[in-house]
Amino acid sequence: MGSPANQARIAGVAALVLLITVTATVIAGSRLSRPLRELTDAVRLMEEGKAARVTVTGRDELCRLAAAFNAMSERRERLEELRKEMVSDIAHELRTPLSNIRGWLEATEDGVVAPDRELVSSLLEEALLLQHIIDDLQDLAVADAGELRLREEPVNVADLLVQVATAHRGGAEAAGVTLTTRADGEPRLFADPVRLRQAVGNLASNAVRHTPPDGTVSLLARREGDDVVIDVTDTGTGIAAEDLPLIFERFWRVEKSRSRRTGGSGLGLPIARKLAEAHGGTLHATSVLGEGSTFTLRLPAAR
């Protein structure tokens, strides 16, 4: 046994070590619990539909977790904004044809107009526009969910371009636009012919709408390495450089004043891009304002 003085000294050192240990533990616990509490509060804010961010300082695991949370929160807010915009756009797109149908039917019921062939034709046109918008929305919803099913088979691209041109030649002639096709060699794809015709048809229809009378829309196909490239080129109004990144946005139109009847549903280009991606390909555009545009569909060639 040591002397009382030594025992007191040992007890003091032990108490000091214990105090330092407890203090360090409290400080470390506080440093760990503070960001966790902040994350918990941010999650609660997110559950309430409010913007939520946490402070990121340092490079430890908790800071990486906080950075990942902030990125997730930003993406969630962006998706929520897109959802609200989509709902607003859909309501806006459907309101016009529905209002027209309702107005004509009310006028007929009041005896203001006679239910003649011209009226029936007008109502049918509005109904077809509604159906077109709904079908486009359904295609986009299926593609967004990753549930777009392709029935792939060998496709002769030259024949496909002729089929698309035949389907759109009536509208092109009515608009005074010349529609031509050309294929260099015999490019072939292993693709869903129905979906591929839809994609190229959307591009052709868009090109015809934006090409003035006496203009030309050309459908061109060629083989480039392991890809088949389809160009849809027009001599139309072109697209401004600042607008070019936006053309594949849903319901976006180059000409804001263009009516929905002549401007389409605003979904043709987004659907074409989704169909290209579903086939493992890409779709991009180049344009010169006042000279025309080219939409390039690049797809893996059949092996």
For 217-248, give the secondary structure using H, E and C: EEEEEEEECCEEEEEEEECCCCCCCCCHHHCC
CATH number of the domain where residue 282 is located: 3.30.565.10
State the Cα–Cα distance between residues 123 and 52, nearest whole angstrom.
48
CB 161, CB 230: distance < 8 Å: yes
Q: Can you name the residues that pair with 189 across neighbouring β-strands?
A: 155, 301
Tell me how far apart the alpha carbons of residues 139 and 144 are, in angstroms, rounded to a whole number.
Answer: 9
pLDDT for position 63 = 74
Residues 168, 42 share a domain? no
* Domain annotation covers residue 83: no
Whole-structure pTM value:
0.64
- What was the pLDDT predicted at 130? 82
**What pLDDT is attached to residue 51?**
67
Q: Are residues 140 and 186 in the same domain?
A: no
Range of the domain at 52: 4-74
The predicted structure's pLDDT at residue 259: 46
Same domain membership, residue 230 and residue 277: yes
Answer yes or no: is 164 within a domain. yes
Same domain for 107 and 27: no
Q: What is the mean pLDDT of each run of 10 residues along the chain (303 residues)?
A: 69 74 67 67 69 67 74 77 71 77 86 82 82 79 76 91 91 91 90 91 91 94 92 91 81 55 67 90 91 93 70
**Are residues 100 and 194 both part of a single domain?**
no
CA–CA distance from 189 to each of 196, 272, 301 (Å)? 10, 17, 5
Domain count for the chain, please give it.
3
The pLDDT value recorded for residue 161 is 94
Are 160 and 288 part of one and the same domain? yes
> Is residue 243 assigned to a domain?
yes
